[in-house]
């Protein structure tokens, strides 16, 4: 389980049934009337830069965990194949 926190939203939007943005705002509270009228919370939006940074941090964390696992296997004189199997076992299904 990742300890990386999702970035904070930069805007909020209500999406219409046709997939288009019905209304958006930088502040969630500005959408209160629409939220009450349709009975659905707006979705939180992040930038592509935020998404990339989040992804990179998640990958970095996973690779550090895998490297630590290999270090432990190496200290116990276990094979690279055993380490690779242990890393594969960490991959969510």
Query: pLDDT per residue over 6-40, tens digit each?
Result: 999 999 999 888 989 888 899 988 888 888 888 88
- Give the per-residue pLDDT at 1: 66
- Give the per-residue pLDDT at 47: 97
- Whether the pLDDT of residue 84 is over 80: the answer is yes
Instruction: Please list, in sequence order, all residues whose beta carbon lies within 8 angstroms of the beta carbon of residue 26, skipping any fewer than 6 positions away.
Output: 10, 11, 12
Strands annotated E in the chain: 11-15, 21-25, 43-45
- Give the per-residue pLDDT at 57: 95
How many Cα atoms are found within 13 Å in the side-chain-facing hemisphere of 52?
3
Domain map (residue ranges) of the chain:
10-45, 47-93
Calculate ∠ Cα 73-79-85, nearest 5°.
80
């Amino acid at each position: 389980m990742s300890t990386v926190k999702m970035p904070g939203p930069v805007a909020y939007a209500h999406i219409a049934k046709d997939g288009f943005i019905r209304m958006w705002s930088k502040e969630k509270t500005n959408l209160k009337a629409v939220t009450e009228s349709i009975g659905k919370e707006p979705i939180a939006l992040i930038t592509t830069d935020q998404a990339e940074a989040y992804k990179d941090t998640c990958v970095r964390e996973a690779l550090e965990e895998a490297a630590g696992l290999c270090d432990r296997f190496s200290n116990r004189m276990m094979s690279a194949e055993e380490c690779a199997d242990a890393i594969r076992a960490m991959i969510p299904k």
